[in-house]
Amino acid sequence: RPCSVIGSGAHPHSKTWVLLGGATFLIVAYSTVIAVGLLGNAGLVFIIARQQELRNVTNILIANLSCSDILMCVVCLPVTVIYTLMDRWVLGEALCKVTPFVQCMSVTVSIFSLVLIALERHQLILHPTGWSPAAGHSYLAVGLTWLVACFISLPFLSFNILTNDPFQNISLPSNPFRDHLICMELWPSDKHRLAYTTSLLLFQYCLPLLLVLLCYLRIFLRLRRRRDILERSRRTQGAQRINVMLVAIVVAFALCWLPLNVFNTLFDWHHQALPDCQHDTVFSACHLMAMASTCINPVVYGFLNSNFQREFKSTLQRCQCGNRTVESYESFPLSTVASEGITKATSLNRMGSVCVLSARPEISTVTLSKSMTTDT
């Protein structure tokens, strides 16, 4: 890399401070993302797993989304920090192949989980009296999602290699980079690489987000037609709140991954448009923004949800004193967002309505009494 070998004429001390400042920023930024993503998603999965009442279709898919983010935080982010700061690969051939494989698999599981959540909301709101998925269906969908994601990511295991070829052509009297290795993709031809990366862009980003957009657009139009019906106003408001939360994470996911997808597309099809000397800086900024998507799930579904905060505080209290505290949860009738898998785990309150004890009303569901389930 000529920009890193040949000086630009700046004072050596100023360049040193710039390098140290950039390295410090990367360490702090990635460490923050890892901490928030790992702790937040782990807490979310723990709360869903420990509460029997929370194991409904939507929550299982959300837990699956959190698991993919945890995998990203554990494997991909630390490796990226080390590789970026050292500017060479020191982690061995196994991690060279596994890291991009895990990242591709994690992103695929995340976007497929968002699609499944959108399809579930679409089915339950537009067809409330029709077929509704049960918890068993969601476990099957989760398993298939991981299998498909593994299959899609397999090329990274085959075509990622360790090599020192880029450092052999540096014309210096004493080449200090001769023994340095980098982890790179080596495809049989550029046509194979472009075909695969373009397919990933379409099936891992563009088409799934388009499908999610269509689902929530139809949901929005259906709920808007119900606003004038007084007896369903509370149900409609609850469904609106759920869908706003779900749409928020989809929009945030799309925005976080947009810069890196644009960067990769430019690199594949017109890499001359990318500046040579700022290549690493631009990539680091895009990659950091993409990795920030791992923090969205616990923030949107957890820390902005009063019931999740209540359950989290209750869990801490039980850990400290061992006494079970009594929680009060928000509930509202939402037959249009109820799922069959949670009706068996409901309890009758004193007023005769059926509510689910949930740490997050936005992703829990509440069934109506028999007199209202026939309304659509």
Distance CA 287, CA 39 (A): 20
Closest CA to 296 of 128, 65, 130: 65
Q: Specify the higher pLDDT residue, 166 or 345.
A: 166
Residues 214 and 122: their CA atoms lie apart, in Å, by: 10
Nearest to 69 by CA among 252, 363, 303, 298: 298
Gap between the Cα atoms of 205 and 66, Å rounded: 18
Q: What is the pLDDT of residue 358?
A: 37
- Residue 226's pLDDT is 67
Given a cut of 90, is residue 14 above it in pLDDT? no
Is there a contact between 180 and 165 (Cβ–Cβ < 8 Å)? no
Query: Distance (Å, rounded) from C-alpha 121 to C-alpha 124?
Result: 5
Q: What is the pLDDT of residue 307?
A: 61
CA 121 to chain centroid: 18
Residue 245 has pLDDT above 80, yes or no: no
Rounded distance between C-alpha atoms, residue 351 and residue 257, angstroms? 46
Task: Give yes or no for residue 261 having a pLDDT over 70.
Answer: yes
Q: Give residue 113's pLDDT.
A: 94
Partners of 32 in the beta sheet? none
Q: Out of 105-114, 269-278, 315-324, pick the least confident.
A: 315-324
Among 198-202, 219-223, 246-250, 348-352, name the most confident range: 198-202
Residue 28, pLDDT above cutoff 80: yes
What is the per-residue pLDDT for 237? Answer: 62
Q: pLDDT grade, residue 311 (50/70/90)?
A: confident
CATH no., domain 13-166+179-326: 1.20.1070.10
- Residue 327: Cβ within 10 Å count: 13
pLDDT recorded at residue 362: 39
Q: Which one has a higher pLDDT value, 55 or 6?
A: 55
- pLDDT tier at 353, thresholds 50, 70, 90: very low
Q: Where are the beta strands (DSSP E) in the chain?
A: 160-163, 182-185, 347-348, 354-355
What number is the average pLDDT over the span 33-59?
Answer: 85
Gap between the Cα atoms of 135 and 131, Å rounded:
13
Q: State both tokens at 55.
A: 């194991």
Task: Kindly indicate the confidence band of residue 346, based on its pLDDT and cuts at 50, 70 and 90.
Answer: very low
The C-alpha atoms of residue 225 and residue 7 are separated, in whole angstroms, by 65
The yes-or-no verdict on residue 254 having pLDDT over 70 is yes
Instruction: Average the pLDDT over 7-19 and give the result.
Output: 43
Tell me: pLDDT of 295 over 50: yes
pTM listed for this prediction? 0.75
pLDDT tier at 229, thresholds 50, 70, 90 = low
pLDDT band at 227 (very low <50, low <70, confident <90, very high): low
Confidence of residue 135 (pLDDT cuts 50, 70, 90): confident
Whether residue 327 is predicted with pLDDT greater than 50 in this model: the reply is: no
pLDDT score for 170 = 63
pLDDT of residue 323 exceeding 80: no
Long-range CB contacts (< 8 A, 24+ apart) of 262-268?
A: 262/286, 264/197, 264/201, 265/197, 265/201, 268/193, 268/194, 268/197, 268/198
Q: Which of 4-8, 14-18, 127-131, 184-188 ranks highest by mean pLDDT?
A: 184-188
Average of per-residue pLDDT values in the chain = 75
66 pLDDT higher than 60: yes
- Ranges 193-207, 229-243, 249-263, 320-334: which has the least confidence: 320-334
Per-residue pLDDT tens for 145-178?
Answer: 999 999 999 999 999 998 877 666 666 666 556 6
